[in-house]
Chain A
Amino acid sequence: MNLRVPSPGELPLVRQLRGADRLGRGAAAESRWSKELRARTATADRTVKSVCPYCAVGCAQNIFVKDGEIVQIEGDPDAPHSRGRLCPKGSATRQLTTGSSRERHVLHRRPGASDWERLDLETAMDMIADRVVRDRRRGWEEEEDGDLLHRTMGIAALGGATLDNEENYLIKKLLTALGVIQIENQARVCHSSTVVGLGTSFGRGASSTLPGDLQNSDLIVLEGSNMAEAHPVAYQWVVEAKARGATVIHVDPHYSRTSALADEFVPLRAGTDIAFLGGIINHVLTTESDFREYVLAYTNASTIVGERFEDAGAEGLFSGYEEATMSYDPRSWQYEGAFVGAAAGQRDQEGNVDRLQEDELGGPGGRGEIRRDETLRHPRCVWQILRRHYAAYTPEMVERVCGVPQDVFAKVCRLFVENSGRERTTAFVHGVGWTQHTIGSQYIRAASILQLLLGNMGRPGGGVMAMRGHASIQGSSDIPTLFDTLPGYIPMPHAHGHDDLADFIAADSPARGFWGNMDDYVVSLLKAWWGRAATAENDYCFEYLPRLTGSHSTYDTTMAMVEGKVKGFFLFGQNPAVGSANTRMQRLGMSKLDWLVVRDFSLIESATWWKDGPEIESGEMRTADIDTEVFFLPAAAHTEKEGTFTNTQRMLQWHHKAVDPRDDQRSDLWFTYHLGRKVRERLADSGDRNDRPILDLTWDYPTEGEIEEPLADAVLAEINGWNADGEMLSAYTELKADGSTSCGCWIYCGCYAEGVNQTARRKPASEQNWTGGEWAWAWPANRRILYNRASADPSGKPWSERKKLVWWDEGKGEWVGHDTPDFEAGKPPDYVPPEGATGPDALRGDEPFIMQADGRGWLFAPAGVADGPLPTHYEPQDSPVRNLLHEHQRDPARQLYEHEWNRYHPDPDEPGAEVFPFAATTYRLTEHFTAGGMSRWTPYLAELQPEFFCEVSPELAAERGLEHAGWATIVGARGAVEARVMVTERMTPLWVDGRVVHQIGMPYHWGPNGLARGDSMNELSSMALDPSSHIQEVKALSVDIRPGRRPRGPGRTVLVEEYRRRAGITAATGMG
């Protein structure tokens, strides 16, 4: 404050006596500070349009910049989806991006060294490029049993959900060209099962709707979602719906801030949602309260399934199970007389390819005639199979399995039925509470079945709203830094006896629907990656793609690391040492690497485990013995780069750059582009044919500025694609398989239509309808509510005036409405395909699920889901309760890993099970973000939830002698953690099959680094996966809890070993 002597007229007393404010409490008392006060938002030089970097609600932000510094970040009131609001994390964005906790310089840890050293960025980049070239060769696999592999297992990467689409695109492109297949990101551990569940049911693996559409719901069922805490700004639409008279139900093991505003909170035992949803399905079927016209026209209810299919029945095992491999051969689940491939999930695997030889089905890809019984009486029609399958899921069983009393369950069923049909709609909202289970994909399938039966898909206020957790985790699924897909959900090719493009397309492309045009999408992608080198003669370089052999998920890669097969590992903003299941295995894996590159803001646990991780404390590892070389490269923040995030409603939003990154901080676009450039330089003179994919790669992006930042705009343009004349494409329907078009991600085609960056559109909410269709751009084709053809009846008229969305305009001869029709605009409702039609032309005018091979919503999934065509209740891998519905305790096809550090718990009726008597579940808190990398170092957030705690009921506290605000140690076969104890009535004991089951709640954000510290809950979780999506089970596991802090040093391991001994745990435990 600079002092200045005021003139006599400015003196308060003079002002008081001369002015109107004689008491001297108002204007007369106004000080110089007050007079000169100006809001930073008003004095800023410029306002930069951006997007919040935390969760996938994607709240629009305004960044205010003055003199090259960010002076304020707040919500953009024009945005239709966020309306200018921000949650505490979004509100802390300025501190996150400009605060002192961000690293600014490259750090290097030599093998065996005890501490970091500084390294200049250029040297670090050169060293990393050298290692990539070397270890790509060391891990090279050319073929296996005569099948071309053409890949390297020496390098792996993890992370991407916090990055821009353009960054993910370059990472996937570069690493794939290098032959790297072990590419994964947060989407694997968060919502991969949503992709399988929704994709197989409806044709696309993304949320069918947008949070803003919840305002149109009559009933909102939040299940598997802690929406108010994990997605507070999206929760405004639930509040809005309530204000309009909607009912809100929250079904969850734990009463959270989401429950506080719900009309009904339904506590249920963690890991039993399929029993609960199956019960509702059974209710709808037995009372015939389905939306019959919708079901008959738009679902596969009437489709007849082949004779070889056998239901799971009391045993809980479908036909086709192979005990030796713990997996299903899904061929017996197919429709009678026809083969249909799945639009998501298990594709391009042995089953599909074998079908090439199966003439009886008329070949692959939906050829042959689908048979139906519109009366729904045929014993093998889907309707009847569904009835039989769910007959055992009675209200009594729901009560016994889930702990939900029958009167409460009856009320839920009644609300569902009352709020569905022509005039009313119900929406499901789910998050990772549903996805992270060994049967996670089937949770989503169960909800999908219910929404199809009740006619809630494609209609306002209906749908399945998948709440995703990172700024661009949807984008990193669409442009996948994931092992099993190529951009736009094209499957990565597996190693088969044959390897040409035509066979690959034939095996995975159905004859009907938009996946029938898969050749257009694949060839255009290959042209985008290999440009002029990709020609019809060389199969458009299809051979350049590395091949998969089974699962190469992040957990498979963890095992490969433990076995020493992986030499180098990139972490792009992901923190597996805290955020992945069984963090001990994660650290063990990393300790076997030759080198590790960590790109992040701060020194997260995955960057420092070698000097201060739990295994160093316990003595199980010694820093000096760890030969992993570690590079820490500070990352640029979203404010320091431009690009697109794809939010939870499939909306790509362009964020502009506000300021330059400082010192060594760089974008992942910069890192990937320059790494690629350096690798290409090193291989430039190579004559090795395995180096052709990297040398032929299109990698000539324009750069700008002193640091040579690649232009994200140019990358987005490549993703959108162009024709042979270099003109930007406007829609994926313009793509061709003749090599004349290039497109990096077919579902994003149109985001740069007419040469305009559509993702940067920001038309204020007040100037458009509630769908917000002119704000940014959503895939596919800017459609905001998917399958919206189903909002009209088969003849094209809205089912009701109250729920109209898209309808057929006879006069115009096209589909019109409030949203872009998710249908061919000019295809009339009465269109019948001509004989021999293929692709989209083969779908009728009343088949709204245009990605599906039969145009219908799948109640029964004949393909795509590895553990059965219908969701079946199995207990979690580690459960204190026996499966009361089926003989098989656990998902018979789940994916397990045998390792001394990854032991499982005994069956509930085996001796030793009583050692882990409680059910634990996990969740997020509003104040923190995922594994904490963006919140535990941010003071304004850290102070709001400073420590790891567990939540227990007063009843459990009394039983175990736990004191509120004291400490507890929670133990499982993998580890032991300590937590502060929150005794709260929000945790309630459940009566399950005649006995009390106590549940323990644990938020999972913490780790030993940062400002808010604590043990990571993932020290307890195991690597046990859903077979379709390879997602880990962290939402339900059995544990023990005891008062007091955990032992320090080696004592922690001793304690866990003692528990294992008491429980009689061996390598075989829980594997059956």
Chain B
Amino acid sequence: MERFGFFTDTSVCIGCKACEVACKEWNEVPDDLVGWAGSSHDNSVGLGADRWRHVAFVEQPVPLGDQQANFRREGGDFRWLMESDVCKHCTEAACLDDCPTGAIFRTEFGTVVVQPDICNGCGYCVPACPYGVLDKREEDGRIFKCTLCYDRLGEGQEPACAKACPTDSIQFGPLEELRGRAGARVQELHERGVEEARLYGEDPGDGVGGAGAFFLLLDEPEVYGLPPDPVVTTRDLPGTWKHVGLAAGALLAGAVACFAGARR
């Protein structure tokens, strides 16, 4: 079946957090009032078991394309970047590789889902995720994250966040189509002088084999709190197994040799 995903175009994000709320309403995610964070307009801090979409706010005295902030202080430039973050639904998903119970699986839509009836909360997936997405809900004991609204997809409906997004910053669709759309959008922005526009996570050749949820960013990923070059933590697993196999073989050979020698 065709793979589906998200394209989050941060160049039209207005930081409204409809995605955060629509996600919580649909998935019945518990509320988590953590208090005023003093971090621009971000008071929900980051992705977690109780927040599957999170909007980052970045204020910088830096120009953006041809936009003019007209501040009279030195430099006078300013930009306010906003980005709605989400589970990347990696092509090579370390969480899935590491899950010992089979709770995490890849759906027919190519998305990565934690099945709550299987998950025992062992937490192996938590350090495995290169983006820090997987998180344990302490009062529950299990791991929760974005399911890309697996239930809605099954009915041919788009995920709640993408549906709500007022400016279409969050787009849902077949991954290949989204990649085409994203490429065209970057080109359009470049032509308009927004040279900072770039894609993040759309490249199948990257460290996670390309993300099922990728982004158009207006600066380096670190600026948004995203890892610049994420690598699936289980990438070396086949090699490791090879070495393990070789070592086991050598041990076996040694043992055989020992026994053989003893007979002599």
> Which residue of A86, A258, A980 has the most chain B CB atoms within 10 A of its CB atom?
A86
- Contact of A939 with B31 in the complex, beta carbons under 8 Å: yes
CA distance A984 to B73 in the complex (A): 13
B57, chain A: closest CB distance, angstroms: 9
Q: Mark B194-218, 1 if CB is under 8 A from A, else 0.
A: 0000000000000000000000000
Number of A interface residues in the complex (CB < 8 A): 82
- Residues in chain B near residue A229, CB distance under 8 A: 14, 16
Query: Residues of B contacting A119 with CB < 8 Å?
Result: none
B16 with A926: CB separation less than 8 A:
yes
- In this complex, how many residues of chain B approach chain A with their Cβ under 8 Å: the count is 64
Proximity string of chain A (980-1003) to chain B, C-beta cutoff 8 Å, 1 when within and 0 when not: 101011101111000000000000
A41 surroundings in chain B (CB, below 8 A): 152, 155, 157
Contact partner of B168 (CB less than 8 A), chosen from A89, A236, A980, is A236
When the two chains form the complex, which single residue of A31, A77, A945 contacts B115, counting CB atoms closer than 8 Å? A31
- When each residue 258-270 of chain A gets 1 if its CB lies under 8 Å from chain B and 0 otherwise, what string results? 1111111111000
Q: Mark A2-46, 1 if CB is under 8 A from B, else 0.
A: 000000000010000000000011110111111001111110000
A915–chain B nearest beta-carbon distance, Å: 26
Q: Which B residues between 50 and 96 are near A, CB-CB below 8 angstroms?
A: 59, 61, 66-73, 78-80, 82, 96
Q: Is the pair A88, B152 in contact by a Cβ cutoff of 8 Å? A: no
A140 within 8 A of B: no
Contact of A86 with B22 in the complex, beta carbons under 8 Å: yes
Given A39-B155, A84-B163, A940-B31, decide whether A259 and B69 contact each other with a Cβ distance below 8 A.
yes
B73–A989 CB distance below 8 A: yes
Q: Complex Cα distance A988/B69, Å? A: 10
Q: Are A34 and B16 in contact (CB under 8 A)?
A: no
B160 A37 Cβ-Cβ under 8 A: no
Bound together, the chains give a CA A405 to CA B102 distance in angstroms of: 64
Report how far A1012 CA is from B115 CA in the complex, Å.
34
Interface locus among B37-45, B130-138, B220-228, B247-255: B37-45
Q: A260 CA to B70 CA in the complex, in Å? A: 12
Q: Assuming A943-B43, A947-B36, is B21 touching A29 (CB within 8 A)? A: no
0/1 interface trace, chain A 633-663, chain B, CB 8 Å (1 if under): 0000000000000000000000000000000
A88 touches B12 (CB 8 A): no
A334 to chain B, nearest CB (A): 42
A476, chain B: closest CB distance, angstroms: 25
Complex interface: stretch among B104-112, B120-128, B173-181, B236-244? B104-112
Contact of A991 with B72 in the complex, beta carbons under 8 Å: yes
**B41 CB contacts on chain A under 8 angstroms:** 257, 925, 945
Which residues of A are found within 8 Å of B154, using beta-carbon distances?
A: 37-39
Map CB proximity to B onto A942-954 as digits: 1 under 8 Å, 0 otherwise: 1111110100000
**Known A-B contacts A75-B163, A91-B164; A944 and B36 likewise in contact (beta carbons under 8 Å):** no
* Complex CA–CA separation, A567 to B169 (angstroms): 52
Docked CA distance A42–B82 (Å): 33
* B79: nearest chain-A partner, CB-CB: A260
Bound complex: CA of A89 vs CA of B16, how far in Å? Answer: 9
- Assess the B38–A980 pair: CB atoms within 8 A: yes
CB closest residue in chain A, given B60? A985
A1011–B32 Cα gap in the complex (Å)? 12
Q: Which residue of B lies closest to A43 (CB)?
A: B155
List of A residues within 8 angstroms of B47 by Cβ = none
Question: Beyond A257-B14, A257-B16, A405-B70, is A37–B151 a contact (Cβ under 8 Å)?
Answer: yes
Our pick among A34, A233, A926 for the contact of B150 (Cβ within 8 Å) is: A34
Chain A residues whose CB sits within 8 angstroms of the CB of B106 once the complex forms: 25-26
A324: interface (CB < 8 Å): no
In the complex, A239→B107 CA distance in Å?
34
Asked whether A260 lies within 8 Å of B80 as measured between CB atoms, the reply is yes
Are the CB atoms of A943 and B70 closer together than 8 Å? Answer: no
Contact across chains for B33 and A1011 when beta carbons are under 8 A apart: yes
> 0/1 per residue, B1-37, Cβ < 8 Å to A?
0000000000010111110111011100001111110
Question: Contacting B71 at CB < 8 Å: which of A261, A267, A1012?
Answer: A267
* Total of A-B residue pairs, C-beta within 8 Å: 221
What's the least CB distance linking A212 to chain B, in Å?
Answer: 13
Pick from B15, B32, B68, B116: contact of A260, CB below 8 A. Answer: B15
Q: Is the interface of B mostly helix, strand, loop or mixed?
A: loop
B73 pairs with A38, CB closer than 8 A: no
User: Within 8 Å of chain A (Cβ to Cβ): is B103?
Assistant: yes
Chain B residue with minimal CB distance to A411? B68
**Roughly how many angstroms separate A949 CA and B38 CA in the complex, as a whole number?**
9
Pairwise interchain contact A943-B31, C-beta atoms closer than 8 A: yes
| Bound-complex Cα distance A945 to B32 (A) | 12
* B49 interfacial contact with A, CB 8 Å: no
Chain B residue numbers with a CB within 8 Å of A92 are 21, 25
The answer to whether the Cβ of B231 comes within 8 Å of any Cβ in the partner chain is no
Instruction: Tell me whether B187 is interfacial, beta carbon within 8 Å.
Output: no
Does B258 have its Cβ within 8 Å of any Cβ on chain A?
Answer: no
Q: Which residues of B contact A239 (CB under 8 A)?
A: 12, 14, 167-168
| Contacting pair A265 B68 (CB below 8 A) | yes
Q: Are B67 and A263 neighbours in the complex by a CB distance under 8 Å?
A: yes
- Cβ of B117 under 8 Å from chain A: yes
Give every chain B residue within 8 A of A991 (Cβ-Cβ).
72
CB distance from A31 to the nearest CB of B (A): 4
Pick from B14, B43, B164: contact of A228, CB below 8 A. Answer: B14
Q: Complex Cα distance A926/B31, Å?
A: 18
Q: Given the complex of chains A and B, what is the CA–CA distance between A258 and B166 in angstroms?
A: 13
CA A266 – CA B76 in complex, angstroms?
A: 12
Known interface pairs A12-B102, A255-B69, A986-B78. Does A943 touch B32 (Cβ–Cβ under 8 Å)?
yes
B129 adjacent to chain A (CB < 8 Å): no
| Chain A residues positioned under 8 Å from B79 (CB to CB) | 260
Cα separation A40 to B150 with both chains bound (whole Å): 12
Q: A74 contacts which chain B residues (CB < 8 A)?
A: 22, 26, 160, 163-164
Q: Which residues of B contact A1 (CB under 8 A)?
A: 117
Q: Complex: how many Å from CA A260 to CA B62?
A: 12
Chain A residues within 8 Å of B118, by CB: 29, 31, 33
Q: Contacts A26-B105, A39-B154 given: A946-B61 contact, CB under 8 Å? A: no
Asked whether A260 lies within 8 Å of B82 as measured between CB atoms, the reply is yes
A921 interface residue, CB < 8 Å from B?
no
Q: Does A232 contact B (CB under 8 A)?
A: yes
- A66 within 8 Å of B by Cβ? no
A94, A262, A943: most-surrounded residue (chain B CB, <10 A): A943
B113 interfacial contact with A, CB 8 Å? yes
Known: A25-B106, A257-B82, A949-B36. A986 touches B25 (CB 8 A): no
Please report the C-alpha to C-alpha distance between residue A947 and residue B35 in the assembled complex, in whole angstroms: 7
Set of chain B residues within 8 Å of A982, measured between Cβ atoms:
38, 40
Say yes or no for A87: interface residue by CB 8 A criterion. yes
Cα distance, A730 to B102, chains bound together (Å): 65
B165's contact among A30, A85, A95, A257, by CB below 8 Å, is which?
A: A85
Highest count of chain A CB atoms <10 Å: which of B41, B43, B96, B107: B41
In the complex, what residues of B have CB within 8 A of residue A85's CB? 18, 163-166
Query: Is A955 an interface residue when CB atoms closer than 8 A count as contact?
Result: yes
Taking CB atoms, residues of chain A closer than 8 Å to B67 are 262-265
Residues of chain A lying within 8 A (CB to CB) of residue B68:
263-265, 408
B157: which of A39, A94, A986 is its contact (CB, 8 Å)?
A: A39
Jot down 12 A-B pairs with beta carbons below 8 A, ordered by A.
A29-B118, A39-B151, A86-B22, A87-B18, A95-B25, A232-B18, A239-B12, A257-B14, A263-B66, A940-B24, A940-B25, A946-B33
B interface residues, Cβ below 8 angstroms from A: 12, 14-18, 20-22, 24-26, 31-36, 38, 40-41, 43-44, 59, 61, 66-73, 78-80, 82, 96, 102-108, 113, 115-118, 149-152, 154-155, 157, 160, 163-168
A interface, CB within 8 angstroms of B = 1, 12, 24-27, 29-34, 37-42, 72-75, 77, 84-92, 94-95, 228-229, 232-233, 235-236, 239, 255, 257-267, 405, 408, 925-927, 939-947, 949, 955, 964-965, 980, 982, 984-986, 988-991, 1011-1012
**Which 4 pairs from chain A and chain B are nearest by CB?**
A965-B38, A939-B31, A29-B105, A947-B36
Other A-B pairs, 5, CB within 8 Å; known A42-B155, A260-B14, A265-B70 = A31-B117, A34-B113, A262-B67, A263-B68, A940-B21
